[in-house]
């Protein structure tokens, strides 16, 4: 049997060590049970509608529309109160949970956020209505815009809409305060059977709104709990 040269032996040892190193590396990279997946979203504040038709995830424009985002997030998490226009009583709760999309117009938009589900309710009390925040650089030039419905300039309260398609005629009239994904869900809601007033014949609900921050939160963040909650 011919003898192996030392260089051949060394080469085999190096190859063996490299194979062992690769195996160890792959084992270390393997996800452990229960490990949370890395959040790949860009830093910022996110709003997710959990609806009867699925989830609609939106990134909020809190820098461009600070009053709108602070008010809407405050309503969503029960941080701020309002006066119910029917009972004239002050209320504070997770406002959007259980409300319906009361107006759907395919392929334009879906609208929700009305306390009574009629599209005619306006919240009362300190802070309502509040100003429009029209930013020239934000336009209705792409589907999925999250915007405020209103009755004219500076009449925002809780009603919002999400566009299914680009709609330039809305430019300059409504506050854009977020950009939504999951447009298949928006489309599914928009295309439900509706009556002559564009109200779904079978209600489509916002089951729950989830507010999440990716990255560090600024001081006095909109999603921070109210002072009376942190003091308990």
Mean pLDDT of 95-114: 98
Using an 8 Å Cβ cutoff, are 102 and 111 in contact?
yes
pLDDT of the residue at 24: 46
- Closest to 147 (Cα-Cα) out of 187, 113, 182: 113
Average pLDDT (127-154) is 98
Domain boundaries, the chain: 44-215
- Neighbouring residues of 65: CB distance < 8 A, sequence distance ≥ 6: 133, 135, 175, 176, 177
pLDDT value for 2: 43
* Per-residue pLDDT reduced to its tens digit, 144-188: 999 999 999 999 999 999 999 999 999 999 999 999 999 999 999
Residue 152 vs residues 132, 161, 175, 202: alpha-carbon distances, Å? 9, 15, 11, 29
Q: Is 42 exposed, middle or buried (0-12, 13-18, 19+ CB in 10 A)?
A: exposed
CATH number of 44-215: 2.40.100.10
Tokens representing residue 27 in the block: 């084992």
User: Residue 22 pLDDT more than 90?
Assistant: no
CA distance 174 to 132: 7
Q: How many CB atoms lie within 10 A of CB 135?
A: 14
| CA dihedral of residues 59, 117, 122, 84 (deg, nearest 10) | -100
> What strand order describes the sheet that includes 44-51?
101-105, 109-112, 160-163, 145-148, 176-180, 54-60, 44-51, 206-214
What is the band of 73 on the pLDDT scale with cuts at 50, 70, 90?
very high
Query: C-alpha angle with apex 69: 163 to 57, nearest 5 degrees?
Result: 45
Which whole number is the average pLDDT over 118-128?
Answer: 96
What is the spatial distance between Cα 98 and Cα 148, in angstroms, rounded to a whole number? 19
């Amino acid at each position: 049997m011919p003898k192996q040269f030392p260089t051949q032996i060394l080469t085999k040892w190096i190859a063996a060590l490299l194979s062992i190193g690769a195996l160890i590396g792959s084992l270390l990279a393997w996800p452990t049970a229960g490990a949370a997946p890395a959040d790949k979203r860009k830093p910022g504040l996110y709003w997710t509608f959990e609806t009867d038709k699925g989830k609609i995830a939106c990134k909020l424009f809190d820098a461009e529309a600070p009053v709108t985002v602070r008010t809407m997030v405050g309503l969503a998490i029960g941080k701020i109160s309002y006066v119910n226009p029917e009972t004239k009583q002050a209320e504070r709760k997770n406002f959007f949970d259980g409300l319906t999309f009361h107006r759907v117009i395919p392929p334009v938009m879906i609208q929700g956020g009305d306390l009574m589900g009629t599209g005619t309710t306006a919240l009362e009390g300190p802070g309502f209505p509040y100003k429009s925040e029209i930013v020239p650089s934000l336009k209705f030039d792409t589907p999925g815009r999250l915007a405020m419905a209103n009755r004219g300039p500076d009449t925002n309260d809780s009603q919002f809409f999400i566009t299914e398609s680009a709609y330039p005629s809305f430019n300059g009239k409504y506050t854009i305060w977020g950009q939504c994904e999951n447009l298949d869900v928006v489309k599914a809601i928009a295309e439900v059977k509706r009556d002559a007033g564009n109200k779904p014949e079978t209600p489509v609900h916002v089951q729950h709104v989830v507010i999440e921050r990716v990255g560090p939160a600024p001081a006095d963040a909109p999603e921070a709990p109210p002072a009376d909650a942190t003091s308990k």
